[in-house]
Amino acid sequence: MRLPRLRVLVLVAMIVASLATVGWWIFGPPGVFVELTRRSWRMEIVVERLKPETGSDWCDELPPGAYDISRRVAADPTGRRAEPAEHCRYTALVWRRQWIARSEGGPETTPDWPRPPLRVAPPGQPGSERLGRREAYYEIELRDRKDRTWTCRVDLERWKQLRPGMRFRVPVDRFGTADCPRMYPSDL
């Protein structure tokens, strides 16, 4: 009589273990196990150049510094002006994005802003360049057991704390996009 009871207990234990495994797989923490393989940084500065551009507007609304102005009388198609008024075509100097200066490296180098050479033209003349918007990117590369990789951006403080070989669990959607902000440490 003891043998059937033992078989039942073993069978129940196997069913409970299987249900626990399936439950963990379905309801457990989401994500893919990954390892940090590389850290890198990139700093970019937009370089703008002063360029002549043509435009058109009502003559009483021209931008400062407009030149080569040609005028004609026209009715306002929007109806904001009751009477026909002078409409102008003009040229004006404007700052436009020309190129991006970039410096990049890894943990062995100190992040540093690029120092691009800038063109200098006489005041009021086109051709001068200036530094515009700055952006810094601190990135880590994550790799899973199937050799899939993801690149995540993190802030500088977190980037300094992370080291290659650290392991994480990161949620990945059905399109293969990692939810980097929800990445958390894991003991593989």
pLDDT over 90 at 90, yes or no? yes
pLDDT in tens, 25-69: 666 556 788 999 999 999 999 999 999 999 999 999 999 989 999
Cα gap 57→70, rounded to integer Å: 11
User: In this structure, are residues 127 and 119 in contact, taking their beta carbons and an 8 Å threshold?
Assistant: yes
Q: What are phi and psi of 154, to 5 degrees?
A: -135, 165
Q: What are phi and psi of 4, to 5 degrees?
A: -65, -35
pLDDT band at 109 (very low <50, low <70, confident <90, very high): very high
User: In this structure, are residues 153 and 144 in contact, taking their beta carbons and an 8 Å threshold?
Assistant: no
Q: What's the whole-number mean pLDDT along residues 80-103?
A: 94
pLDDT over 60 at 130, yes or no? yes
pLDDT over 60 at 188, yes or no? no
Q: What's the whole-number mean pLDDT along residues 159-184?
A: 87
Which residue do the tokens 């990161």 mark? 170
